[in-house]
Amino acid sequence: MNRLWNALFGSALAGAMLAACAVGASAADRTIFLTFEDGPLPGTKNVLSVLSQENVPAAMFMVGLHVETIPNGRDLLAEAKSMSLVTVGNHSYNHANNRYRRFYANTKAVVADMLHANQVLGLTPIVHARLPGRDVFRLPTVSREDLSINVAQWEREWLDYELVAEAGFYLYGWDFEWVHSDDGKPVQSVDRLVSEIDHLFQYGRFAQPGKMILLMHDEMFQDQFDGQGKLQSLIQKLKQRGYAFGDIRSYAPSNP
């Protein structure tokens, strides 16, 4: 009887251990990296407030020109840099003036613009960054091109990406976007966005397996769009569904 009991107990214990490993793997394979672009802007304060309340990490890719020209821009930058869970990143100095083809036609100017933004943002290499208008990765263990541009355009721009990376930048693209209209209003509802995220994790076509980089823009979270409420609702719903939130600094370590 003891031998039978030991066999049954051993089998049950092994099953429990396998189940625990499966749960652990599931949690590890459902990580979302929150990233915000274009700040400081109206909405940035609400983003920082929610991140603090919900105690989740995020990357804030900021524009140097906005720091210099937006009311309280320097104060918002300082607040973001004071938060341990927030990684302040470089999103260029002038955001290419939203004329991307002209911007990327001059490689030296692209590198100079990113370095100028470092000075304004007070960042020193290695700097976590996102190029304006380009879904490009240049990381120690991850490299991916922007598939939304044609081959001819990529051939004109690839050297820009390479030389920016060589200048001391880790470049992050994104896997999915919470889209906004021209006035900054979020397009998807929170419930629709969560449903889309669930769907995408079923297929897992991300730059890194089990890791989704979610792109958002600071202007989406202004009071007029109930920005604080929407962002808090998104984070809480994702927590309830078992997603973890990752720190961008651990997204692609050089020694994984």
Strand partners, 87: 59
Q: Calculate ∠ Cα 247-248-254, nearest 5°.
A: 110
Closest CA to 36 of 24, 21, 49: 49
Per-residue pLDDT of the chain (256 residues; tens, 9 = 90+): 333 334 333 433 333 333 333 333 344 589 999 999 999 999 999 999 999 999 999 999 999 999 999 999 999 999 999 999 999 999 999 999 999 999 999 999 999 999 999 999 999 999 999 999 999 999 999 999 999 999 999 999 999 999 999 999 999 999 999 999 999 999 999 999 999 999 999 998 899 999 999 999 999 999 999 999 999 999 999 999 999 999 999 998 775 4
* End-to-end C-alpha distance for the chain, whole angstroms: 48
Place of tokens 């672009």: 37
Specify whether the CB–CB gap between 146 and 134 falls below 8 A.
yes
How do residues 115-130 score in pLDDT, each as one tens digit?
999 999 999 999 999 9
pLDDT at 28: 53
Chain center to CA of 22: 26
Question: What's the whole-model pTM score?
Answer: 0.88
Return the SS3 of 31.
Answer: strand
| Assigned token pair, 138 | 């240049």
Note the pLDDT tens digit of each residue in 142-155: 999 999 999 999 99
